[in-house]
Amino acid sequence: MLEEIEMREIDEDRARCHNTRAGMIEALKIVQRRRGWISDDVLYELSAHLGVPPGELDSVATFYNLIFRKPVGRHRILICDSVTCWVMGEEDLKRRLSEKLGIAPGETTRDGRFTLVPNACLGVCDRAPAIMIDDDLHTGLTPAQLDAILGRYE
């Protein structure tokens, strides 16, 4: 069920937009912020609330990299796998992350703590390799630093 507070935030944003369609992406983000991802149920409710066909909403939801249509963990790890990070050791970092978490890129740990997502260039190529956990950027990483960093996210 969409919550009262979500609907209010969505309507406030929509009022600032050119039209309902222009507010669709932000509406998806508002809902995702509280739930982590967009389930089918939520998609249908949101489409009813906005008055747009569910197929149209889904076509947008599935297009954008950072809207998730599958469940994700409490913390989202974006690992930059673009060229400079790759040159600077991204493969090693990703392998070690996968081993530590026991998941392949794209998967979520069984305890629902982390989801590992390969991401396009994070735009910090001068401090490669880089990952982003939730809103925090971690740069110039070596695999040895991973334990300490992951430990900060319960």
Partner 1 sequence: MAERPLTGDIRPGEGPPRLTEYERRGGYAALKKALKQMDPAGVAEEVKRSGLRGRGGAGFPTGAKWSFVPMGTDAPEPKYLVANGDEMEPGTFKDRYLLEGNPHQLIEGMIIAAFAIQASVAFIFIREEYREACAALTRALAEAFAAGYLGGNILGSGFNLDMKLHVSAGRYMCGEETGLINALEGRRAVPRWKPPYPQTAGLWGKPTVVNNIETLCCVPHIVLKGAEYFKGLSRTGEGGTKLYGVSGKVKNPGCWELPMGTSIREILEEHAGGMMGGFKLKGLLPGGASTDFLLEEHLDVNMDFESVAKAGSRMGTGTIIVLDDRTCPVGFIHNLQKFFSRESCGWCTPCREGLAWVEKTLAAIEEGRGTREDIGILEFHVRLLAPGRTFCALAPGAMEPLGSGLKFFRDDFDRHISAPSCPWR
Residues within the interface to partner 1 (CB under 8 A): 16-26, 28-29, 59-60, 63-67, 78, 81-84, 86-88, 119-128, 132, 135, 137
Nearer to partner 1 by Cβ, of 4 and 16: the residue is 16
Nearer to partner 1 by Cβ, of 24 and 116: the residue is 24
Nearer to partner 1 by Cβ, of 96 and 127: the residue is 127
What's the closest the beta carbon of residue 65 comes to partner 1, in angstroms? 4
What's the closest the beta carbon of residue 123 comes to partner 1, in angstroms? 4
What's the closest the beta carbon of residue 39 comes to partner 1, in angstroms? 17
Cβ atoms of residues 141 and 130 within 8 Å: yes
What's the closest the beta carbon of residue 146 comes to partner 1, in angstroms? 20
Q: Which DSSP helix (H) or strand (E) runs through 30?
A: helix 24-35
Q: What is the DSSP string of 39-97?
A: -HHHHHHHHHHHTS-HHHHHHHHTTSTTS-SS---SEEEEEE-SHHHHHTTHHHHHHHH
Nearer to partner 1 by Cβ, of 26 and 45: the residue is 26
Nearer to partner 1 by Cβ, of 65 and 147: the residue is 65
Q: How many helices and strands (H and E) does the chain possess?
A: 7, 4
d(CA 126, CA 65): 24
What's the closest the beta carbon of residue 121 comes to partner 1, in angstroms? 4
d(CA 27, CA 33): 10
